[in-house]
Chain A
Amino acid sequence: MVLTPERLRRLALWWLVFLLPLLPLAWLVERALAMDLGADPAQAIVQFTGIWTLRLLFVTLAVTPLRLMFRWAWLQRYRRMFGLYTLFYAVVHLLAFATFILGWRPDLLLRELSERPYIIVGTLALLLLIPLGVTSTRGMQRRLGPKWAKLHRLVYLIALLAMLHFIWQIRSSFQEQLIYGLILAWLLGFRLWKRRRRSRGARRQTA
């Protein structure tokens, strides 16, 4: 295979996009090894991985609007990577919670998963992410055909559940939740707006 400049550029971009989302985790591991996460490293890790799960979910959802607004066709290729990283961070988040906060005590796991509304919606969001991850390959995409797009619309529900999970944790300040909520409103609103424009255009054509 010849490495043309174009192919080289693509390769470099792929590695960049592959490595960037690992940076937060690398930073976290470095802090943890340096024992620099304070008196409650468990909570620090759960909060950090939680917020990065949400951020990566938003990055995934931002691919389509950014691609359309700035005509960044190349971005589309990386959507799956961002989606899989969202799943990856969510799994780390859950494992950190189960390991560092609950110590895998079955009674505590059962209690948290059945009694805390915010944990239940978080778990639901994670569970729904799994089929999306499993069907993210090109082969699956081909095999499922039109059903694939329908299935992957679950990501909107996942985003709403994740946001609810976050909102239910408000204690004395809702600043962060408001900012993330506005971003999500834009990400979803953009799609609604596009759809309405599309359907209005279609109606005009049939009339």
Chain B
Amino acid sequence: MLIKKPDPIKASEITPEPIYRNRRLFMQGLAGSAALALSGGAAAIPAYDLDADAPRYPGPDWLQSKLRAGARNEALSTAEKPAPYVNVITHNNFYEFGTGKQDPSRKAQNFKTDPWSVEIAGEVDKPGTYALEDLLQPHGIEERIYRLRCVEAWSMVIPWMGFPLGDLLKRFGPTSRAKYVAFTTLLDPEQMPGQGGFFSTLDWPYVEGLRMDEAMHPLTLLAVGLYGNALPPQNGAPFRLVVPWKYGFKSIKSIVRIELTESMPVTTWNQTAPNEYGFYANVNPEVDHPRWSQATERRLPSSLFSPNIIDTKPFNGYGDQVASLYSGMDLRKWF
């Protein structure tokens, strides 16, 4: 649902003053989402200055209350300045909706993200298919501000709302044979025009995977929101992965299936161009992609006056937390 710009009539003209003031405080706090403003309440997420005319995505009712209860996890959030909301929702690589950066924000607006169900399959004690609402029910949502480093050598800072993937996996009882986790995006060429193409080099649906210890790592997030609102469809609504120390393509969007497996899953980009995209895809300034140097990145939004080039850090700056997962591995070979 899109919420339009605020009405040109001043709210103070039609609303009793105390309520108005309350609401204004609230709107400052919660991104001015009109739908949220109507339901009132306190802002748990710190104030965001969202671009006034950018669309808002409040999400289904059941999600709104969860989002509102969420607070920022300061310990796991970067202090860097998040990219403006409008940039986060209009600069997306989501090839199911087209290969241009702005294609997803144009073509995904009618993407149906509610109701949504997710299948948990493979090496778990309790496989099954669950409505997203039920799947998320026991999990509290928190905010994490992460760096996102795209393999195309640009990066953004994004305030996600979500919860650790590990918490979810534990609930379903991984068996001793569970060594990897495979994720699958929705396959629906009717809604996702990019999947119908004769010209596509990718096999749909999109599949990504993690090793079990990567999946259980506390930084690995299942996101359902950003900037205090629900995930916009172009950002992978209603349910996506965020793995901040890996290139962005690992952070699969619009997940419908999570399967625990014994062998390493065949993942989409790795299968398409194994010499360009590894299974691990850890951010590594020392291993270049044939098209992009990975030694530096352009932090977006960049302006024409400053390309905003910064040095890329190993593991996207999360090395202290995750480097130990790969001790003893040759990261040039396992790129």
Interface residues of A (CB under 8 A from B): 32, 38-45, 99-103, 105, 108, 111-112, 115-118, 168-175, 178
Contact = CB atoms under 8 A, between A and B. Distances in A.
A61 B195 CA distance: 35
Nearest to B95: A172
Contacts of B291: 116, 118, 168-169
Interface of B: 83, 87-88, 90-91, 95, 99, 101-102, 154, 156, 194, 197, 199-202, 272, 288, 290-291, 293, 295-296, 298, 300-304, 306-307, 309
Across chains A and B, which 4 residue pairs bring their CB atoms closest together, nearest first? A39-B87, A175-B199, A39-B91, A103-B307
Contact of A40 (B194, B295, B302, B309): B302
B199 A178 contact: yes
Given A117-B290, A118-B291, A173-B99, A39 B300 contact: yes
Contacts of A100: 302, 304, 307
A177 to B, nearest CB: 9
29 contacts: A32-B304, A38-B87, A38-B90, A39-B88, A40-B300, A40-B302, A41-B304, A42-B304, A43-B154, A45-B304, A102-B307, A102-B309, A103-B307, A103-B309, A105-B309, A108-B293, A108-B296, A111-B295, A115-B293, A118-B291, A168-B291, A170-B201, A171-B99, A172-B194, A172-B272, A173-B95, A173-B99, A173-B194, A174-B201
A98 B46 CA distance: 39
Centre residue among B101, B194, B295 by max chain A CB count within 10 A? B101
B201 A173 contact: yes
A39 B91 CA distance: 6
Contact of A116 (B101, B202, B290): B290
A112 B293 contact: yes
**Among B202, B295, B298, B303, residue most surrounded by chain A Cβ atoms (within 10 Å):** B298
